[in-house]
Amino acid sequence: MYAPSIFEDRFMNNFLDDMFGKPVSAFNRMAHPMRTDIVEKDGEYFMKIDMPGYKKEDIKAELRDGYLTISAGSDTTDEKKDEEGNVIYRERHSGECRRSYFVGKHLNEEDIKASFENGVLSVQFPSEEKKPQIEEKKTITIG
């Protein structure tokens, strides 16, 4: 069933922002999880994956059968109390996101480098299969 545009996540975010006075990150995270940019340059792929709201320790990367799977999970609780210590607002969010990318069966874990900074996971790996180097025969002149 098609929902009218009034019920999009922007409506819900604005409604809850007005009600509680802060952005609701759970809705933002669900709207566009793990946006990814991939660039190839000098025989390497460079991936930038947006993962706002997650910490480095929340993220896992696994390589299996040529697929790189990035997953993240978090549990958060936000609570507001009045001057007397009574809870007037409590929100809990538990979520997980996961995405798989085919990177090639020629890769192993050592070929992939990853770092996480400011909510962006950066991943780098070779774009082509490494060919074993064939040793050239060198002739030695006998004098």
Domain edges within the chain: 1-31, 33-126
Please, what CATH class does the domain formed by 33-126 belong to? mainly beta
In this prediction, residues 8-18 reach a mean pLDDT of: 48
Q: Residue 118: what pLDDT?
A: 92
- Whether the predicted pLDDT of 132 surpasses 90: no
Contact 106, 139 (CB under 8 A): no
pTM of the model: 0.61
Q: What is the pLDDT of residues 64-88, one digit of tens each?
A: 999 999 999 988 888 888 888 888 8
What is the pLDDT confidence band of residue 61, given thresholds at 50, 70 and 90? very high
Whether residue 11 has pLDDT greater than 60? no
Distance between CA 136 and CA 55 in Å, rounded? 49
pLDDT at 57: 92
Residue 101 has pLDDT above 90, yes or no: yes
